[in-house]
Each structure stands twice: as structure tokens, then as C-alpha cells.
Amino acid sequence: MGFQFIHMESFSRKGDAQGRGTAFIFAEASRKPEASIHVPHPEPPVVVYGMDVADVEALHDAAADAARTIPKDGKPRKLRQDHKTVHTVIASHPYTMDEIHDDPEKRKEAEVWERRTIEWLRSQYGNDLKSVVRHEDESHYHIHAYVVPTDDTEMRALRHHPGVTAKRAAMAAGPTNAEDSKTISKRGDAAYKDAMREWQNSYHAVVGIPCGLARLGPCRRNLPRGEWQREKAQAKALQAALERAAVVRTKIETHIVTKKSEVETLVSTAETTAAALRAEADAAIAEAARQLAAARAATDAAKASHDAAVREQAKARGMMSFVRQETARVATQAARLQKLPSILRTVFDGFRQSRVAERIRAAVESDMTALRERASSALKKAAAADAALRKAEERASSIDHALTETTAQRDVAREELARLRPPEPTSRPSLGPGLRPTPRRR
């Protein structure tokens, strides 16, 4: 593995000292013959990000024609032909195209380098990065990036050049401590170099180190071959260490995600189970409460029936007492009346033929008939009262039995309610944030 190579340059529609303008740059990128004399066998570029080169050129030309600058007099003017409107970046990998074609592992390393470089370019230039293409017809694996500042009404491509931006800022700050123009220029050049060095360092931190590339090559520092080989080995070892760290980090993140998912599943299952148990307990408590209410209602009804039976029994007993009294009174009167005929017969034996005797006999007979009917009615009422008394006693016995069973059911319902009532919460060891112990199903 070697060292990193990345270079930037801005171009205007007017060609520079070598005749390179925006038209030439786009022609060279698309491998037009007149701009590809340096390539023995030109091949079409491979677009690895963004737009095709022809589309980028059309977009640039339209934007450059529409762009305007506003000078001090405030009157908008078209862009000068030497106004920088395109910013380009070229990045090259140490592997040759032959190595890429012959070794799949090296191709994989180069593709990783390419993806990292594109991501770094996107972070640097945002939406102004319009296209990145790869040329496979030259000696080394490399890519070209084309930055067109279409969001800027003046299309100032140099604002993407960190060195120029830093130097302009230093020059605009003016002299300090009575500096002359030469000193100011030197300070601007120093700011330019510092900014470009920082740009290279940024690329090395994001792309070079992870890809095992050295920041500087041996020629820049006059390194002996042995020392350069050791530095390359160190860069390669650093790359391997970073790759291992990335693998470990990925495994850790995957493990964390997996465990988090498992914990969430356990928590969800525990919450679902707890909710089901809670619902089951609530239903059981409600059922027990319903049964208890029904038992209470049945108990109240049984008590009411028992009280009614007791009242009926008392009423029947009263009726029996009344019937017995009436029967005794009727029997007494009947006995008294039964003696009356013999007395009358004795007294009026001689007057049997008289009308008075007939009237007395008729009156006595009428009274006897009435007394017999009253005695018969009293006997019937006594029999009915006895039957009602027996029925009331049987009903009272049945109600007492039902009351006993209802009381037993009420006691069972209370015991079931007490058993289903959830126990008082007790302190238990914590299972971690957001976790609760799973209730044991009864």
C-alpha cells in the first residue's frame, strides 16, 4: 500500500495558460478524442455518483449564461469569461489498473476507498457535487469529481477552494502591526498552505487512515527506502486494526440491538401476561362479587320467606285456637240444647197436641239444625287449619334448609374472593430498567 493522492483545481470558460477551460475539462472527462491525446486507448468514463458528464456540462453552461455578478455600481452584469465556474477534484489510489483486474482483494480495497472518497466529497461540497466518474483507461485507479455551484447566483467556484478562501480572508483583514504589502502577502500564503494542509488532513482522517494510506509519500520527505517500507507497513497495520475495530464495533452494535430486541420482547411478553392475569383476576373477582350478591339476595329472600312462613304458622295456630274455642262453645250449646227436648217433653208431655208444643219443637229443630251446621263448619275449618298448619310447617322446614345451603354458598364465595384477591406488593430484586417480575399463574 502507498500514500494518498488528492488534488483540486478550478476552471473558467476561458482557457488557462495550457488552454484548459470548462469545455476542455468536460471533453477530457467524457474522453472526446481532441481532449484525450494523453490516453493511448480512451474508454468511456464510469459514472459512480450523480449525473453523466454531458448533463453536467449542459447544466453548467445554462447556469453560467444565467448567472450575474453585481459590482459596486449595483448593476447586474454577465460573468466574465475568466470567472471560475467549475471546481474539480481528482483522487487516485496507489493500485494500478492491472493489479485491480488481476486481484479481487485489491479491487475490493479500491472499491472501499472509492465509496469513502465519495462520502467525503459529499460532506465537503453538498448539493454542488454534481458528478463523480471513474477512468479505467489510465495507469492507476482514480476518480474525478465535478462541483458546479448552481445554488450561487454568481457561480463562485473558488468559494469551494479552502486555500483561496483562507488567503482572501487573511488579505481582507488588512495589515497588523504596521505590516507592509509583502508581509501581508506572506501571511496570506501561509493561510493558503495551512488551509490546504488541513484539507489534506481531513481526507487522510476520513479516507486515508481507514484505507491504509500514508499521509505523505517518500519523495516529499526524502525518506530512505527501508524507512518508507516500514511506514507503509505501519499504515497497513493501522488499516487492519481499524478494520478489526469496525468489525468488533459492528458485532457489539448487533449484539446490543439483539439484546435490546430480546429485552423488549421479554418486557412485552411479561406485560401481556400480567395484563391477562390481571384481567382474569378482575373477571374472577367480578364473578365472585356477583355470586356473593346473588347469595345475599337469596339469603334475604329466604329470610323474608321464613318470616312469612312464621307469620302464617302463627296465623294458623291462632285460627286453630279459635276453631277449638268455637268447637268447644258449639259443643257446650249443643249439649245444652240436647237436654232441652227431654225437659220439654217432660213438662209438656200432656200438651203434645197443642200448637205451642209444635212451635217449640219447630223452633228447637231449627236451632239444632243451625247448631249442627255450625259444628260441621267448625270441624271443616279446623281440618283446613290443621292442613294449613302442616303446610306452613313443611314450608318453614324447606326455607330453613334453603337458608342453610345459601349461607354455605355465601361462605364459599367469600373464601373464593379472598383467594383471588391479588397479594400485597412486596419488594423484589430489580431486573433492570423497564423490567418487572412476571406474575406466577395460579
d(CA 327, CA 371): 11
The pLDDT assigned to 385 comes to: 72
Cell of 85: 465556474
CA of 360: how far to CAs of 281, 343, 345, 357, in Å?
A: 90, 12, 10, 5
Q: Which residue bears the cell 500564503?
A: 189
The pLDDT assigned to 340 comes to: 66
218, pLDDT greater than 60 = no
Least-confidence region, from 9-18, 114-123, 295-304: 295-304
How does the average pLDDT of the chain come out, rounded? 81
Q: What's the first-to-final CA gap in the chain, in angstroms?
A: 69
d(CA 24, CA 129): 19
User: In this structure, are residues 75 and 130 in contact, taking their beta carbons and an 8 Å threshold?
Assistant: no
25, pLDDT greater than 80 = yes
The pLDDT assigned to 347 comes to: 57
Which residues, at least 6 apart from 305, have a Cβ–Cβ distance to it below 8 Å? 395, 399, 402
Q: Is the model more confident about 222 or about 204?
A: 204
Q: What mean pLDDT is predicted for residues 393-400? A: 77
209, pLDDT greater than 50 = yes
The pLDDT assigned to 168 comes to: 93
Q: What mean pLDDT is predicted for residues 235-249? A: 59
User: In this structure, are residues 378 and 324 in contact, taking their beta carbons and an 8 Å threshold?
Assistant: no
Full-prediction pTM beyond 0.75?
no
Nearest alpha carbon to residue 297 among 374, 130, 410, 397: 410
Band of pLDDT at residue 226, cut at 50, 70 and 90:
low
The pLDDT assigned to 108 comes to: 94
Q: What mean pLDDT is predicted for residues 102-118? A: 94
Q: Which residue bears the cell 217449640?
A: 360
230, pLDDT greater than 70 = no
221, pLDDT greater than 80 = no
348, pLDDT greater than 60 = no
Q: For the chain, give the secondary structure using H, E and C.
A: CCECEEEEEEEECCCCCCCCCHHHHHHHHCCCHHHCCCCCCCCCCEEEEECCHHHHHHHHHHHHHHCEECCCCCCCEECCCCCEEEEEEEEEEEEEHHHHHHCHHHHHHHHHHHHHHHHHHHHHHHHHEEEEEEECCCCEEEEEEEECCCCCCCCCHHHHCHHHHHHHHHHHCCCCCCCCHHHHHHHHHHHHHHHHHHHHHHHHHHHHCCCCCECCCHHHHCCCHHHHHHHHHHHHHHHHHHHHHHHHHHHHHHHHHHHHHHHHHHHHHHHHHHHHHHHHHHHHHHHHHHHHHHHHHHHHHHHHHHHHHHHHHHHHHHHHHHHHHHHHHHHHHHHHHHHHHHHHHHHCHHHCCCHHHHHHHHHHHHHHHHHHHHHHHHHHHHHHHHHHHHHHHHHHHHHHHHHHHHHHHHHHHHHHHHHHCCCCCCCCCCCCCCCCCCCCCC
383, pLDDT greater than 70 = yes
| Percentage above 70 pLDDT, the chain | 81
Band of pLDDT at residue 361, cut at 50, 70 and 90:
low
Top mean pLDDT of 82-86, 261-265, 341-345, 388-392 is at 82-86
Least-confidence region, from 48-62, 249-263, 285-299, 422-436: 422-436
Cβ neighbour number for residue 430 with a 10 Å cutoff? 9
341, pLDDT greater than 70 = no
The predicted-structure confidence for 269-278, as pLDDT tens digits, reads as follows 888 888 888 8
The pLDDT assigned to 109 comes to: 92
Cα-flanking dihedrals φ and ψ of residue 197, to 5°? -65, -40
> Burial, 62: exposed, middle or buried (Cβ in 10 Å; 0-12, 13-18, 19+)?
exposed
Q: What mean pLDDT is predicted for residues 147-166? A: 94
Cell of 89: 477534484
Band of pLDDT at residue 223, cut at 50, 70 and 90:
very low
Q: What mean pLDDT is predicted for residues 249-260? A: 77
Cell of 359: 212451635
Band of pLDDT at residue 373, cut at 50, 70 and 90:
confident
The pLDDT assigned to 104 comes to: 94
102, pLDDT greater than 70 = yes
Nearest alpha carbon to residue 109 among 2, 245, 217, 251: 2
Least-confidence region, from 226-235, 269-278, 374-383: 226-235
Hey, what domains does the chain have and what are their CATH numbers?
5-232 (3.30.930), 259-420 (1.10.287)
| Percentage above 90 pLDDT, the chain | 36
428, pLDDT greater than 60 = no
The pLDDT assigned to 112 comes to: 94
Chain centre distance of CA 152: 43
d(CA 242, CA 253): 16
In angstroms, what is the C-alpha Rg of the chain? Answer: 60
Least-confidence region, from 84-88, 119-123, 202-206, 297-301: 297-301
d(CA 83, CA 12): 5
Band of pLDDT at residue 166, cut at 50, 70 and 90:
very high
Band of pLDDT at residue 280, cut at 50, 70 and 90:
confident
The pLDDT assigned to 295 comes to: 75
Q: What mean pLDDT is predicted for residues 382-390? A: 76
User: In this structure, are residues 412 and 290 in contact, taking their beta carbons and an 8 Å threshold?
Assistant: no
Top mean pLDDT of 28-37, 274-283, 394-403 is at 28-37
The pLDDT assigned to 1 comes to: 58
The pLDDT assigned to 398 comes to: 79
Band of pLDDT at residue 261, cut at 50, 70 and 90:
confident
